[in-house]
A and B are shown apart, each in its own frame.
Chain A
Amino acid sequence: MLTKRIIPCLDVKEGRTVKGVNFVNLRDAGDAVELGAMYAAQGADELVYLDITATVEGRSTFIDLVRRVAQTINIPFTVGGGISSIADVSALLHAGADKVSINSAAVRNPDLINELSLEFGSQCIVVAIDTRYVETSNGMQHIVHTHGGRKPTEIQTLAWAKEVEERGAGEILLTSMDADGTKNGFALELTAQISGAANIPVIASGGAGTMEHFYDVFTTGKADAGLAASIFHFREIDIPDLKQYLAGKNLPVRIL
C-alpha cells in the first residue's frame, strides 16, 4: 500500500543548515549532508533542502551541496529556494536533485510551470504554495503569499492549486503561514480542501508540534505527506517513534 510520507525540511544558508542543533550524535549538526543522511537512516521518506541564501555565491555553494547530498543519500530529495528559470532547474537536477520546488517565480510567471514540466517532466516539479487566511474585499479568504509568506497576492489558494496542477505540477507543497511556527497543528481544513480538489499529491507543511498532528493531517487533512523542520531538528519528535505511532493507528507508513 502506498504510504504516507514523513519529510524533514532543512533550511540551508551558505551550504549549512540553519536550525540544525541539538544532535549530540552528529559531528557537525550544521552539515546539511550529514544531517540528511541521519534522517534517511532514521526512515525519513524524502528530504527537502531549502536554500535561504540570497547571494550568487550562495547559489553555487548550494549546487555543490546538492551534489554532495545526491552522492551520499539514497532516498529522494527536493530542493527549493529562489528557483526562477529552466537553467536553475537544469543545474539542480544535473547536480542530482530528484525534484525542484518553485514558489514565487511560479506566481510571477505561471507559464514557468508548463515550461518546466514539459522540459523535465511533471514528476520533478513541485509547486510550493504559501498561504494565509486574510481579510479581503470579499471577506476572509485563503490567499497565496510570496517572498517567504510576507507578500500577499490577489490569488485564492484553492484556485491556484487547481491551476498549478493543470499547468503540469507533479506535487503541491502547501504551507499555511498561519499555522507555521505555532506547533498547534497543521491547517487541516485547508489541506483537506486542497488535497480533495487536486489529483496530485499534497505535502502539508506548517504547524506540526506533536505526533497526533501528523495523524490528523493524514486523516482529516487528507495529506499525502507531512513536512516539518524544527520538531525534527530539535528532536522533539524522532522519526522512528513517529512512524511507529502512525503504524499503531493503522496508517500505512514505511518502517525500516
Chain B
Amino acid sequence: MKTVIIKYNAGNVQSVMYALDRIGASYIYTDDESEIRSADKVIFPGVGEASTTMAYLRKTGLDKIIPSLKQPVFGTCVGMQLMCRFSEENDTTCMGIFDVDVKRFPATPGFKVPHMGWNNISDYKGALTEGLADQTYMYFVHSYAAGICDYTVASCDYVLPFSAMLHKDNFYAAQFHCEISGNAGQRIIENFLKI
C-alpha cells in the first residue's frame, strides 16, 4: 500500500510521520502530483495559519489536486479546516470539500482560546472511529472550529458543539491531533489505513 503525506508549508509534520512509523506503515512525504494521485491513501496534515497555508496551496495547485482525489484522503487539524468552505481565520476561502464554515470560538468567560488539551468526542459513526470506546478523549489545539453539519461524524463540545470529525465520500477529517492522542488516536490512523 502506498501512503502519501502531502508536503506543503504546514508546520511540523514530524509527529505524524512518527505515528505512522509506530504502526509500521510506510509513507512518502511529497508534493508531487503524480505521486499523490497514484497513492492508495493520502494524509493531509496541518499546523499553521489558514490564509498563509491556503495561499501556498493555490500557488502550488494543490488546492485543485486535493479536492479532485478519488482515493481516501484524511485531513487533520488545519488540514481539516482547509477542506471546509471558508475560515474566519483571516477571512480565508478554503477548498470547499465540506460545505461548512470554520469560525473562531466566541469569547466566553471561563473558556480560554485556544481550546487546548484533551476533550471527549461523542456521537461518532463510520469507519475511522470503529472500535473506539464511547466518549473517547482526543488531544485538541485550535482556536477555530467547523460547526455541526451534515458531514459531522463525531462531535465535541467547547463553548458550543463543533465537528470533531467530518466525512464525505472519500474525504475524512479530524480536528484533533490523532498522532498525539494516545492509543485512541493511533486507532483512528490505523482505521484510516485499513479503509
CA A5 to CA B185, docked complex, whole Å: 17
Chain A nearest Cβ from B54, distance in angstroms: 15
Are B15 and A75 in contact, with the CB atoms below 8 A? no
CA A256 to CA B133, docked complex, whole Å: 10
Are B14 and A94 in contact, with the CB atoms below 8 A? yes
Give the number of chain B interface residues (Cβ < 8 Å). Answer: 36
Partner of B180, one of A3, A74, A224: A74
Which B16-67 residues have a C-beta within 8 angstroms of A?
A: 18-19, 21-22, 47-49
Are A121 and B11 in contact, with the CB atoms below 8 A? yes
Question: What chain B residues lie within 8 Å of A40 (beta carbons)?
Answer: 182
Whether a CB of chain B sits under 8 angstroms from the CB of A170 is yes
Are A75 and B139 in contact, with the CB atoms below 8 A? yes
Are B22 and A122 in contact, with the CB atoms below 8 A? no
Are A74 and B116 in contact, with the CB atoms below 8 A? no
Question: What chain A residues lie within 8 Å of B47 (beta carbons)?
Answer: 121, 123-124
Partner of A201, one of B15, B22, B116, B158: B116
Which A58-74 residues have a C-beta within 8 angstroms of B?
A: 70-72, 74
CA A124 to CA B47, docked complex, whole Å: 10
Whether a CB of chain A sits under 8 angstroms from the CB of B186 is yes
- Closest partner residue, chain B, to A73 (CB atom): B180
Are B49 and A121 in contact, with the CB atoms below 8 A? yes
Are B18 and A170 in contact, with the CB atoms below 8 A? no
**Contacts A2-B158, A40-B182, A71-B22 given; does A94 touch B12 at CB 8 Å:** yes
**Contacts A1-B120, A45-B118, A200-B112 given; does A74 touch B14 at CB 8 Å:** no
Whether a CB of chain A sits under 8 angstroms from the CB of B161 is no
**Contacts A121-B47, A122-B114 given; does A96 touch B157 at CB 8 Å:** no
Q: Could you list 24 examples of A-B contacts with CB < 8 Å?
A: A2-B119, A2-B140, A3-B117, A74-B180, A74-B182, A74-B183, A75-B182, A94-B14, A95-B14, A96-B12, A96-B18, A98-B180, A121-B49, A123-B47, A123-B141, A170-B114, A170-B116, A171-B116, A199-B107, A199-B112, A200-B112, A200-B113, A201-B117, A224-B116
Chain A nearest Cβ from B90, distance in angstroms: 13
Chain B nearest Cβ from A147, distance in angstroms: 28
Whether a CB of chain B sits under 8 angstroms from the CB of A225 is yes
- Closest partner residue, chain B, to A4 (CB atom): B117
Question: What chain B residues lie within 8 Å of A19 (beta carbons)?
Answer: none
Q: Report A83-125 CB contacts with B as 1/0, cut-off 8 Å.
A: 0000000000111101000000000000000000000111110
Question: What chain A residues lie within 8 Å of B120 (beta carbons)?
Answer: 1
Q: Which residues of B contact A (CB under 8 A)?
A: 11-12, 14-15, 18-19, 21-22, 47-49, 107, 112-120, 137, 139-142, 157-158, 177, 179-183, 185-186
Question: What chain B residues lie within 8 Å of A225 (beta carbons)?
Answer: 117
- Closest partner residue, chain B, to A120 (CB atom): B11
Are A98 and B15 in contact, with the CB atoms below 8 A? yes
Partner of B113, one of A45, A95, A124, A199: A199
A interface, size bucket: 20 to 34
Question: What chain B residues lie within 8 Å of A76 (beta carbons)?
Answer: 139, 177, 180
Question: What chain B residues lie within 8 Å of A256 (beta carbons)?
Answer: 182
CA A94 to CA B14, docked complex, whole Å: 6
Are B113 and A123 in contact, with the CB atoms below 8 A? no
Whether a CB of chain B sits under 8 angstroms from the CB of A162 is no
**Contacts A71-B22, A93-B12 given; does A2 touch B183 at CB 8 Å:** no
Which A200-256 residues have a C-beta within 8 angstroms of B?
A: 200-201, 224-225, 254, 256
Question: What chain A residues lie within 8 Å of B15 (beta carbons)?
Answer: 70, 96, 98
Are B116 and A123 in contact, with the CB atoms below 8 A? yes
**Contacts A93-B12, A94-B12, A95-B14 given; does A3 touch B119 at CB 8 Å:** yes
Chain B nearest Cβ from A101, distance in angstroms: 14
Chain B nearest Cβ from A166, distance in angstroms: 14
Chain B nearest Cβ from A170, distance in angstroms: 6
Are B112 and A201 in contact, with the CB atoms below 8 A? yes
CA A53 to CA B183, docked complex, whole Å: 32
